[in-house]
């Protein structure tokens, strides 16, 4: 088994690339989706309420927009929130990985996570892949999804520069072109990972 950390900055196409890996047969785990489920757990809600105050609850549920408005302007509050969520995210990832059926075939696990480098989580993976585009392309794509430039800039400034992430990654995927061009890069990397896993298994 090879466990990959798939990262990149906001709007640059991590989810698109994750889906392409999934189609090729990789086990894909989304950290963001795990967070969504965690934010519905009573214990987690209670911890977040202690951190942000009662105003974080609207109609019995966490007000995610309110939380976002705070954490993307206040780095310390963002770190406190991450400290509540991230240990639980990795516990869940480990649980999912542990339960992947062993079929005698190469197993490639891709964990899609946005802030691997920012929190020093790269050592939790065998290899890191960074997806990138220019900031202009990312902003353009986000705008088409209804995310304002102001909101996008707020999120991007909370992440390390993409060039730094690229320099620290084992593989990089340029998602600036067509879906077919991105798919070709994913396919090439996937085949290398399969060959690598077979080599390790053979040893």
Known binding-site positions for ATP: 11-16
CA 158 to chain centre: 14
Which residues, 6+ apart, have CB-to-CB distance to 101 below 8 Å?
Answer: none
Binding site, by residue number, is 11-16
79 vs 96: CA distance, rounded Å: 25
Residues in the chain: 203
Q: What CA–CA distances, in Å, run from 121 to 69, 115, 127, 193?
A: 25, 8, 11, 20
C-alpha angle 64-111-126 in degrees, rounded to nearest 5: 140
> Phi and psi for 125 in degrees, rounded to 5?
-125, 155
Which residues, 6+ apart, have CB-to-CB distance to 128 below 8 Å?
Answer: 4, 5, 6, 7, 116, 122, 168, 169, 170, 171
> Phi and psi for 112 in degrees, rounded to 5?
-85, 115
């Amino acid at each position: 088994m090879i466990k990959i950390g798939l990262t990149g900055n906001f709007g640059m196409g991590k989810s698109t690339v994750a889906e392409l890996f999934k189609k090729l047969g990789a086990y894909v785990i989304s950290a963001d989706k795990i967070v969504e489920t965690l934010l519905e757990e009573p214990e987690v809600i209670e911890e977040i309420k202690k951190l942000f105050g009662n105003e974080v609850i609207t109609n019995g549920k966490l007000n995610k927009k309110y939380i976002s408005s705070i954490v993307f302007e206040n780095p310390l509050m963002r770190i406190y929130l991450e400290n509540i969520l991230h240990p639980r995210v990795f516990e869940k990832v480990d649980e999912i990985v542990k339960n992947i059926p062993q079929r005698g075939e190469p197993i490639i696990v891709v964990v899609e996570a946005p802030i691997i480098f920012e929190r020093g989580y790269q050592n939790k993976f065998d290899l890191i892949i960074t997806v990138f585009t220019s900031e202009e392309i990312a902003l353009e794509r986000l705008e088409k999804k209804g995310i304002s430039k102001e909101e996008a800039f707020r999120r991007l400034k909370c992440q390390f520069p993409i060039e730094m992430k690229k320099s620290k990654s084992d593989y990089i995927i340029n998602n600036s072109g067509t879906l077919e061009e991105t798919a070709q890069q994913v396919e090439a990397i996937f085949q290398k990972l399969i060959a690598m896993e077979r080599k390790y298994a053979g040893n």
